[in-house]
Amino acid sequence: NAGVTQTPKFQVLKTGQSMTLQCAQDMNHEYMSWYRQDPGMGLRLIHYSVGAGITDQGEVPNGYNVSRSTTEDFPLRLLSAAPSQTSVYFCASSPRRTSHYGYTFGSGTRLTVV
């Protein structure tokens, strides 16, 4: 099993550009989520999903869209990139839609918006 795979690992965008961060898991996990990590602020929840066709907002959803068409994939879209979205983005999955199982994280995407 590859676990949780994120692509790309690094990306530089210009302000106003759009892009999609990819996340795929091969563990048949029900729950998937996106976090951003900024220095001194820990990990903040952007969006999450408990199954195909079901998504919900986290703590900091503005400027991001998600969809879940399959159990395996959970892409994160930046609609119009802003410098404030410069961050490291982590995708994380968990076996069930209830807590108590912990996360498996992907390796992260370092995004810079200039």
Partner 1 sequence: GENVEQHPSTLSVQEGDSAVIKCTYSDSASNYFPWYKQELGKRPQLIIDIRSNVGEKKDQRIAVTLNKTAKHFSLHITETQPEDSAVYFCAASIDGTGGFKTIFGAGTRLFVKA
Q: Which residues bind partner 1 (CB under 8 A)?
A: 31, 33, 35, 40-45, 48-50, 54, 56, 58-59, 90, 94, 97-100, 102-108
Q: Shortest approach of partner 1 to residue 91 CB, angstroms? A: 10
SS3 20: strand
Distance of CA 43 to the CA centre of its chain: 11
Cα(111)–Cα(114) distance, rounded to whole angstroms? Answer: 10
CB of 17 to partner 1, least distance (A): 26
Give exposure, 42-73, as e/b (b: 16+ Cβ within 10 Å): ebebbbbbbeeeebeebebbeebebbbeebbe
Minimum CB separation of residue 99 from partner 1 in Å reads 4
* Residue 52 or 103 having the CB closest to partner 1: 103
Minimum CB distance to partner 1 smaller for 16 or for 53: 53
What is the rounded distance in angstroms from the CA atom of residue 82 to the CA atom of residue 99? 33
Identity of the residue, 68 or 78, whose beta carbon is nearer to partner 1 in the bound complex: 68
Instruction: At 22, list the tokens.
Output: 């990819």
77 vs 96, which CB is nearer to partner 1?
A: 96
Least Cβ distance, residue 69 to partner 1 (angstroms): 17
